[in-house]
Amino acid sequence: MPADVRKEHSHSVRTSLKEWGTSRAVRIPKPICEQAGISAGSELTMQSGQDDRGAFIMLRPVSRDAHRAVDVPYISMDEVFAGHKESYVPCEADWGHDVGAEVVE
């Protein structure tokens, strides 16, 4: 299990890997599905990895943030700028003189 899993909010059960055609399958108990907010037919992402305890397989429900390329917690813009007190005043940037094909007339 990845190190960032909060122990007080996790269930742990023992299960076994079964054959399902040419694939493998694991039954997920109802309490774990309920905690994860998934049910039969839910779309999941599957990731394998390795940590200090060995190899693992992680399943996550596909969410509105599924397009993200990395697995990071969602932080809203309000949270990002929570400590910022000044109002934003846009200004023009001086990039210097036009040169070469950049010359605009």
- Rounded to whole angstroms, the Cα distance separating 100 from 80 reads 40
Tell me which residue has tokens 């990895």: 49
Flag whether the pTM goes above 0.85.
no
Both tokens of residue 19? 């054959």
Residue-wise pLDDT for 4-20, tens only, equals 555 556 778 888 999 99
Share of the chain above pLDDT 70, in %: 80
3-state secondary structure of 67: coil
Strand locations in 5-101 (E): 18-20, 23-25, 44-51, 54-61
- Mean pLDDT value of segment 54-70: 74
Whether pLDDT at 32 is above 80: yes
pLDDT at 44 over 50: yes
- Mean pLDDT computed over every residue of the chain: 81
CA distances from 34 to 11, 76, 85 (A): 11, 26, 41
Provide the pLDDT for residue 9. 62
Query: Does the structure show a pLDDT above 90 at 21?
Result: yes
Span 46-60, average pLDDT: 91
Token digits for 14? 């023992």
Q: What number of other Cβ atoms are within 10 A of residue 71's Cβ?
A: 13
pLDDT for 1 equals 47
Q: For the chain, which domains are there?
A: 7-66 (2.10.260.10)
Mean pLDDT of the 70-96 span: 82
